[in-house]
Protein backbone atom coordinates (compact mmCIF):
# COMPACT_ATOMS: atom_id res chain seq x y z
CA UNK A 1 0.00 0.00 0.00
CA UNK A 2 1.43 3.39 -0.97
CA UNK A 3 1.74 6.19 1.56
CA UNK A 4 -1.01 8.11 -0.22
CA UNK A 5 -3.30 5.08 0.01
CA UNK A 6 -2.59 4.80 3.74
CA UNK A 7 -3.52 8.45 4.20
CA UNK A 8 -6.74 8.08 2.23
CA UNK A 9 -7.69 5.11 4.42
CA UNK A 10 -7.61 7.22 7.60
CA UNK A 11 -10.88 7.42 9.53
CA UNK A 12 -11.50 10.93 10.88
CA UNK A 13 -14.52 10.87 13.23
CA UNK A 14 -15.34 14.58 13.53
CA UNK A 15 -16.91 16.50 16.38
CA UNK A 16 -19.21 15.13 19.08
CA UNK A 17 -21.86 17.86 19.29
CA UNK A 18 -23.48 16.30 22.33
CA UNK A 19 -20.21 16.65 24.26
CA UNK A 20 -19.92 20.25 23.07
CA UNK A 21 -23.44 20.99 24.32
CA UNK A 22 -22.67 19.39 27.69
CA UNK A 23 -19.55 21.53 28.05
CA UNK A 24 -21.56 24.65 27.25
CA UNK A 25 -24.18 23.74 29.85
CA UNK A 26 -21.40 23.25 32.37
CA UNK A 27 -19.98 26.70 31.58
CA UNK A 28 -23.43 28.22 32.00
CA UNK A 29 -23.69 26.68 35.47
CA UNK A 30 -20.37 28.14 36.65
CA UNK A 31 -20.71 31.10 39.00
CA UNK A 32 -19.76 33.87 36.58
CA UNK A 33 -21.45 35.85 33.79
CA UNK A 34 -22.33 33.67 30.81
CA UNK A 35 -19.68 33.68 28.09
CA UNK A 36 -17.43 36.00 30.07
CA UNK A 37 -14.25 34.05 29.28
CA UNK A 38 -14.92 34.46 25.58
CA UNK A 39 -12.76 32.38 23.26
CA UNK A 40 -11.40 30.40 26.19
CA UNK A 41 -14.86 29.02 26.85
CA UNK A 42 -15.24 28.21 23.17
CA UNK A 43 -11.87 26.44 23.23
CA UNK A 44 -12.90 24.20 26.13
CA UNK A 45 -16.17 23.38 24.37
CA UNK A 46 -14.21 22.58 21.21
CA UNK A 47 -11.90 20.25 23.14
CA UNK A 48 -14.95 18.46 24.57
CA UNK A 49 -16.38 18.02 21.06
CA UNK A 50 -13.03 16.74 19.83
CA UNK A 51 -12.49 14.20 22.60
CA UNK A 52 -16.15 13.23 22.92
CA UNK A 53 -16.37 14.07 26.61
CA UNK A 54 -17.15 17.14 28.72
CA UNK A 55 -14.67 15.76 31.28
CA UNK A 56 -11.39 17.25 30.11
CA UNK A 57 -7.81 16.32 30.97
CA UNK A 58 -5.06 17.93 28.89
CA UNK A 59 -2.35 17.70 31.53
CA UNK A 60 -0.04 15.47 29.47
CA UNK A 61 0.86 17.41 26.33
CA UNK A 62 3.60 17.66 23.77
CA UNK A 63 4.95 19.90 21.04
CA UNK A 64 5.72 18.00 17.85
CA UNK A 65 8.29 20.03 15.88
CA UNK A 66 8.85 18.92 12.30
CA UNK A 67 12.30 19.88 11.03
CA UNK A 68 13.31 20.01 7.36
CA UNK A 69 15.22 22.05 4.79
CA UNK A 70 14.06 23.70 1.60
CA UNK A 71 15.98 23.81 -1.67
CA UNK A 72 14.51 27.20 -2.52
CA UNK A 73 17.08 28.83 -0.22
CA UNK A 74 19.35 28.73 -3.29
CA UNK A 75 17.35 31.72 -4.53
CA UNK A 76 18.53 34.01 -1.72
CA UNK A 77 15.19 34.05 0.11
CA UNK A 78 16.67 33.73 3.60
CA UNK A 79 19.19 35.54 5.76
CA UNK A 80 20.78 32.33 7.10
CA UNK A 81 21.90 29.02 5.61
CA UNK A 82 20.43 25.54 5.92
CA UNK A 83 22.94 24.53 8.58
CA UNK A 84 20.89 26.59 11.04
CA UNK A 85 17.98 24.14 10.78
CA UNK A 86 20.11 21.34 12.20
CA UNK A 87 21.63 23.57 14.87
CA UNK A 88 18.24 24.67 16.19
CA UNK A 89 16.82 21.14 15.96
CA UNK A 90 19.78 19.86 17.96
CA UNK A 91 19.12 22.59 20.51
CA UNK A 92 15.52 21.39 20.72
CA UNK A 93 16.72 17.85 21.36
CA UNK A 94 18.83 19.19 24.22
CA UNK A 95 15.75 21.00 25.63
CA UNK A 96 17.52 24.35 25.26
CA UNK A 97 15.67 26.09 22.43
CA UNK A 98 13.09 28.83 22.89
CA UNK A 99 10.11 26.49 22.59
CA UNK A 100 11.68 24.06 25.07
CA UNK A 101 12.11 26.77 27.67
CA UNK A 102 8.59 28.05 27.15
CA UNK A 103 7.25 24.50 27.02
CA UNK A 104 8.83 23.74 30.37
CA UNK A 105 6.83 26.58 31.90
CA UNK A 106 3.66 25.45 30.12
CA UNK A 107 4.07 21.77 31.02
CA UNK A 108 4.76 20.55 27.49
CA UNK A 109 7.57 18.29 26.30
CA UNK A 110 9.10 19.04 22.89
CA UNK A 111 9.73 16.29 20.34
CA UNK A 112 11.84 17.44 17.35
CA UNK A 113 11.54 15.19 14.28
CA UNK A 114 13.99 15.19 11.37
CA UNK A 115 11.65 14.69 8.45
CA UNK A 116 14.06 16.09 5.88
CA UNK A 117 17.04 18.13 7.07
CA UNK A 118 20.05 18.74 4.81
CA UNK A 119 22.55 18.39 7.67
CA UNK A 120 22.70 15.74 10.42
CA UNK A 121 21.55 16.33 13.99
CA UNK A 122 22.52 13.15 15.89
CA UNK A 123 20.19 13.61 18.86
CA UNK A 124 17.09 14.39 16.77
CA UNK A 125 14.83 11.50 15.81
CA UNK A 126 15.64 10.60 12.22
CA UNK A 127 12.58 10.12 10.01
CA UNK A 128 14.10 11.65 6.87
CA UNK A 129 12.22 11.31 3.64
CA UNK A 130 15.01 13.10 1.76
CA UNK A 131 17.87 15.44 2.66
CA UNK A 132 15.89 18.61 2.07
CA UNK A 133 13.57 19.35 -0.81
CA UNK A 134 14.56 20.34 -4.34
CA UNK A 135 14.61 23.96 -5.47
CA UNK A 136 10.96 24.51 -6.33
CA UNK A 137 11.77 27.28 -8.80
CA UNK A 138 13.27 24.62 -11.09
CA UNK A 139 10.69 21.86 -10.65
CA UNK A 140 8.66 20.07 -7.96
CA UNK A 141 10.00 20.39 -4.42
CA UNK A 142 9.45 16.63 -4.03
CA UNK A 143 7.49 13.78 -5.53
CA UNK A 144 3.88 13.19 -4.61
CA UNK A 145 4.82 9.98 -2.78
CA UNK A 146 7.57 11.73 -0.83
CA UNK A 147 5.04 14.33 0.33
CA UNK A 148 2.68 11.52 1.35
CA UNK A 149 5.51 9.74 3.20
CA UNK A 150 6.22 12.88 5.20
CA UNK A 151 2.52 13.20 6.05
CA UNK A 152 2.47 9.59 7.17
CA UNK A 153 5.48 10.26 9.39
CA UNK A 154 3.41 12.84 11.27
CA UNK A 155 0.55 10.37 11.66
CA UNK A 156 2.91 7.72 13.06
CA UNK A 157 4.52 10.09 15.55
CA UNK A 158 1.10 11.09 16.90
CA UNK A 159 0.01 7.48 17.22
CA UNK A 160 3.14 6.67 19.24
CA UNK A 161 2.71 9.61 21.58
CA UNK A 162 -0.99 8.87 22.08
CA UNK A 163 -0.02 5.32 23.10
CA UNK A 164 2.31 6.91 25.69
CA UNK A 165 -0.57 8.85 27.24
CA UNK A 166 -0.32 12.27 25.61
CA UNK A 167 -3.71 13.94 25.33
CA UNK A 168 -2.94 17.27 23.68
CA UNK A 169 -0.48 18.42 21.03
CA UNK A 170 0.95 21.63 19.70
CA UNK A 171 2.53 21.94 16.29
CA UNK A 172 5.99 23.39 15.77
CA UNK A 173 8.54 23.48 12.99
CA UNK A 174 12.09 24.37 12.11
CA UNK A 175 13.24 24.82 8.56
CA UNK A 176 15.18 27.67 6.99
CA UNK A 177 13.15 28.90 4.02
CA UNK A 178 9.80 27.59 5.21
CA UNK A 179 8.03 30.95 5.19
CA UNK A 180 8.75 30.94 1.44
CA UNK A 181 7.14 27.53 0.95
CA UNK A 182 4.25 28.47 3.24
CA UNK A 183 3.61 31.65 1.28
CA UNK A 184 3.69 29.69 -1.99
CA UNK A 185 1.15 27.22 -0.60
CA UNK A 186 -1.09 30.00 0.71
CA UNK A 187 -0.92 31.80 -2.64
CA UNK A 188 -2.12 28.72 -4.51
CA UNK A 189 -4.66 27.43 -1.99
CA UNK A 190 -6.24 30.84 -1.35
CA UNK A 191 -5.84 32.12 -4.93
CA UNK A 192 -3.98 35.21 -3.73
CA UNK A 193 -1.06 37.01 -5.34
CA UNK A 194 2.33 36.03 -3.85
CA UNK A 195 3.12 39.68 -3.11
CA UNK A 196 0.09 39.82 -0.79
CA UNK A 197 0.77 36.65 1.18
CA UNK A 198 4.55 36.94 1.51
CA UNK A 199 6.36 38.59 4.41
CA UNK A 200 9.97 39.17 5.38
CA UNK A 201 10.16 36.04 7.50
CA UNK A 202 13.20 36.00 9.78
CA UNK A 203 14.54 39.45 9.00
CA UNK A 204 14.76 39.89 5.22
CA UNK A 205 15.49 43.30 3.71
CA UNK A 206 13.17 44.92 1.16
CA UNK A 207 15.43 43.59 -1.57
CA UNK A 208 15.32 40.13 -0.03
CA UNK A 209 11.53 40.27 0.07
CA UNK A 210 11.48 41.04 -3.66
CA UNK A 211 13.66 37.99 -4.33
CA UNK A 212 11.36 35.88 -2.16
CA UNK A 213 8.21 36.99 -4.00
CA UNK A 214 9.95 36.46 -7.34
CA UNK A 215 11.00 32.93 -6.37
CA UNK A 216 7.44 32.05 -5.35
CA UNK A 217 6.05 33.39 -8.63
CA UNK A 218 8.59 31.37 -10.63
CA UNK A 219 7.87 28.21 -8.62
CA UNK A 220 4.13 28.50 -9.25
CA UNK A 221 4.66 29.21 -12.96
CA UNK A 222 7.09 26.31 -13.43
CA UNK A 223 5.09 23.71 -11.48
CA UNK A 224 1.48 24.74 -12.22
CA UNK A 225 0.13 23.21 -8.98
CA UNK A 226 -3.52 22.10 -9.01
CA UNK A 227 -5.29 24.07 -6.28
CA UNK A 228 -8.04 21.44 -6.12
CA UNK A 229 -5.51 18.75 -5.20
CA UNK A 230 -3.79 19.66 -1.90
CA UNK A 231 -1.22 16.86 -2.17
CA UNK A 232 -0.21 18.09 -5.61
CA UNK A 233 0.24 21.63 -4.31
CA UNK A 234 2.19 20.40 -1.28
CA UNK A 235 4.56 18.27 -3.33
CA UNK A 236 5.27 20.96 -5.92
CA UNK A 237 5.71 24.14 -3.85
CA UNK A 238 5.66 22.93 -0.24
CA UNK A 239 8.11 21.52 2.28
CA UNK A 240 8.69 18.30 4.18
CA UNK A 241 8.21 20.03 7.53
CA UNK A 242 4.80 21.29 6.43
CA UNK A 243 3.89 17.83 5.13
CA UNK A 244 4.88 16.31 8.47
CA UNK A 245 2.64 18.81 10.26
CA UNK A 246 -0.27 17.85 8.00
CA UNK A 247 0.21 14.33 9.32
CA UNK A 248 0.22 15.57 12.92
CA UNK A 249 -3.17 17.19 12.38
CA UNK A 250 -4.60 14.10 10.70
CA UNK A 251 -3.19 11.76 13.33
CA UNK A 252 -4.59 13.89 16.14
CA UNK A 253 -8.00 14.09 14.50
CA UNK A 254 -8.00 10.32 13.99
CA UNK A 255 -7.28 9.80 17.70
CA UNK A 256 -9.74 12.49 18.88
CA UNK A 257 -6.88 14.45 20.45
CA UNK A 258 -6.92 18.29 20.34
CA UNK A 259 -4.00 19.92 18.54
CA UNK A 260 -2.98 23.58 18.77
CA UNK A 261 -1.94 25.44 15.63
CA UNK A 262 1.16 27.61 16.02
CA UNK A 263 1.72 30.46 13.55
CA UNK A 264 1.62 30.96 9.78
CA UNK A 265 3.53 27.84 8.74
CA UNK A 266 1.53 25.58 11.03
CA UNK A 267 -1.69 27.25 9.91
CA UNK A 268 -0.91 26.56 6.24
CA UNK A 269 -0.32 22.91 7.14
CA UNK A 270 -3.67 22.91 8.98
CA UNK A 271 -5.39 24.29 5.89
CA UNK A 272 -3.94 21.48 3.76
CA UNK A 273 -5.09 18.88 6.30
CA UNK A 274 -8.61 20.33 6.21
CA UNK A 275 -8.62 20.37 2.40
CA UNK A 276 -7.76 16.67 2.52
CA UNK A 277 -10.12 15.77 5.39
CA UNK A 278 -12.60 18.54 6.32
CA UNK A 279 -13.41 16.90 9.67
CA UNK A 280 -9.78 17.34 10.74
CA UNK A 281 -10.73 20.90 11.71
CA UNK A 282 -12.73 19.52 14.63
CA UNK A 283 -9.50 18.64 16.43
CA UNK A 284 -7.79 22.01 15.84
CA UNK A 285 -7.40 25.06 18.06
CA UNK A 286 -5.79 28.32 16.96
CA UNK A 287 -3.29 29.92 19.33
CA UNK A 288 -2.07 33.25 18.00
CA UNK A 289 -2.19 35.58 15.02
CA UNK A 290 1.44 35.85 13.96
CA UNK A 291 3.05 38.86 12.29
CA UNK A 292 3.14 37.21 8.84
CA UNK A 293 0.82 39.09 6.44
CA UNK A 294 -1.22 36.08 5.25
CA UNK A 295 -2.00 34.50 8.60
CA UNK A 296 -5.36 36.27 8.92
CA UNK A 297 -6.49 35.00 5.53
CA UNK A 298 -5.36 31.45 6.32
CA UNK A 299 -7.14 31.39 9.69
CA UNK A 300 -10.29 32.78 8.06
CA UNK A 301 -10.12 30.00 5.46
CA UNK A 302 -9.76 27.45 8.25
CA UNK A 303 -12.60 29.07 10.19
CA UNK A 304 -10.80 29.62 13.51
CA UNK A 305 -10.11 32.71 15.61
CA UNK A 306 -6.83 33.22 17.43
CA UNK A 307 -7.20 34.32 21.08
CA UNK A 308 -3.61 35.65 21.35
CA UNK A 309 -2.48 38.77 19.47
CA UNK A 310 1.13 39.52 20.35
CA UNK A 311 2.88 40.00 16.98
CA UNK A 312 4.90 36.84 17.63
CA UNK A 313 6.87 35.31 14.74
CA UNK A 314 9.45 33.04 16.31
CA UNK A 315 8.03 29.71 15.16
CA UNK A 316 9.13 26.40 16.70
CA UNK A 317 5.71 26.11 18.37
CA UNK A 318 6.32 29.03 20.76
CA UNK A 319 2.97 30.67 20.03
CA UNK A 320 1.09 27.41 20.47
CA UNK A 321 2.53 26.68 23.92
CA UNK A 322 1.39 30.14 25.06
CA UNK A 323 -2.18 28.86 24.81
CA UNK A 324 -1.63 26.02 27.30
CA UNK A 325 -1.53 28.17 30.48
CA UNK A 326 -4.63 30.03 29.31
CA UNK A 327 -6.44 26.73 28.82
CA UNK A 328 -5.30 25.60 32.27
CA UNK A 329 -6.75 28.73 33.84
CA UNK A 330 -9.98 28.30 31.88
CA UNK A 331 -10.26 24.71 33.10
CA UNK A 332 -9.78 25.86 36.72
CA UNK A 333 -12.90 27.98 36.30
CA UNK A 334 -14.71 25.28 34.28
CA UNK A 335 -14.15 22.86 37.19
CA UNK A 336 -14.96 25.54 39.76
CA UNK A 337 -17.90 26.62 41.88
CA UNK A 338 -21.39 26.53 40.39
CA UNK A 339 -24.24 28.94 41.02
CA UNK A 340 -26.10 26.21 42.88
CA UNK A 341 -23.06 25.60 45.09
CA UNK A 342 -23.26 29.24 46.17
CA UNK A 343 -27.01 29.20 46.58
CA UNK A 344 -27.43 31.73 43.75
CA UNK A 345 -29.87 31.49 40.87
CA UNK A 346 -28.13 30.84 37.57
CA UNK A 347 -28.35 33.25 34.64
CA UNK A 348 -31.29 32.73 32.31
CA UNK A 349 -29.64 31.73 29.04
CA UNK A 350 -32.74 32.78 27.08
CA UNK A 351 -32.07 36.39 28.11
CA UNK A 352 -28.38 36.40 27.05
123-136 pLDDT, tens digit per residue, is: 999 999 999 999 99
Residue 338 has what pLDDT? Answer: 67
- Classify residue 10 as exposed, middle or buried by CB count within 10 Å of its CB (0-12, 13-18, 19+): middle
The yes-or-no answer on residue 55 being catalytic is no
The CA angle 264-270-275, to the nearest 5 degrees, is 130
CATH class of 57-324: alpha beta
Nearest alpha carbon to residue 135 among 46, 29, 259, 239 = 239
> Of the residues 41, 45, 90, 316, which is catalytic?
316
pLDDT band at 31 (very low <50, low <70, confident <90, very high): confident
- Mean per-residue pLDDT, 171-183: 96
| Alpha-carbon gap, residue 53 to 96, rounded angstroms | 35
- On whether the pTM is more than 0.85, the answer is yes
272-322 pLDDT, tens digit per residue, is: 999 999 999 999 999 998 877 788 999 999 999 999 999 888 889 999 999
> Which residues are paired to 43 by β-bridges?
none
Those residues whose C-beta lies under 8 Å from the C-beta of residue 211, and which sit 6 or more positions away, are 75, 76, 77
- Mean per-residue pLDDT, 244-270: 97
Phi, psi at 142, each rounded to 5°: -160, 170
Cα–Cα distances in angstroms (integers) from residue 303 to residues 56, 154, 267, 306, in the given order: 23, 23, 11, 10
Phi, psi at 78, each rounded to 5°: -135, 160
Contact 305, 39 (CB under 8 A): yes
Contact 271, 252 (CB under 8 A): no
What is the average pLDDT score of the chain?
A: 94
Nearest alpha carbon to residue 44 among 33, 59, 31, 54 = 54
Contact 290, 312 (CB under 8 A): yes
| Secondary structure (3-state) at 224 | coil
Residue 170 has what pLDDT? Answer: 98
Those residues whose C-beta lies under 8 Å from the C-beta of residue 318, and which sit 6 or more positions away, are 98, 99, 102, 172, 262, 312
Amino acid sequence: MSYEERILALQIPGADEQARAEARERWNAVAKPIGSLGLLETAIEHIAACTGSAEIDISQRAVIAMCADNGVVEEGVTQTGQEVTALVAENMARAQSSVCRMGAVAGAKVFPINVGMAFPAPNVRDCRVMDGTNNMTKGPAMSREQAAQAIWTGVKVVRELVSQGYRMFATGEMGIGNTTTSSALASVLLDMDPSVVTGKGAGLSDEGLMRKVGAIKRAIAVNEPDATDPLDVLSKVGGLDIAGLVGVYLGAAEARIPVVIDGFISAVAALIAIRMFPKAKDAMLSSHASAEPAVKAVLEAIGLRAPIHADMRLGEGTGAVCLFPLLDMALCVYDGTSFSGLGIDAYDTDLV
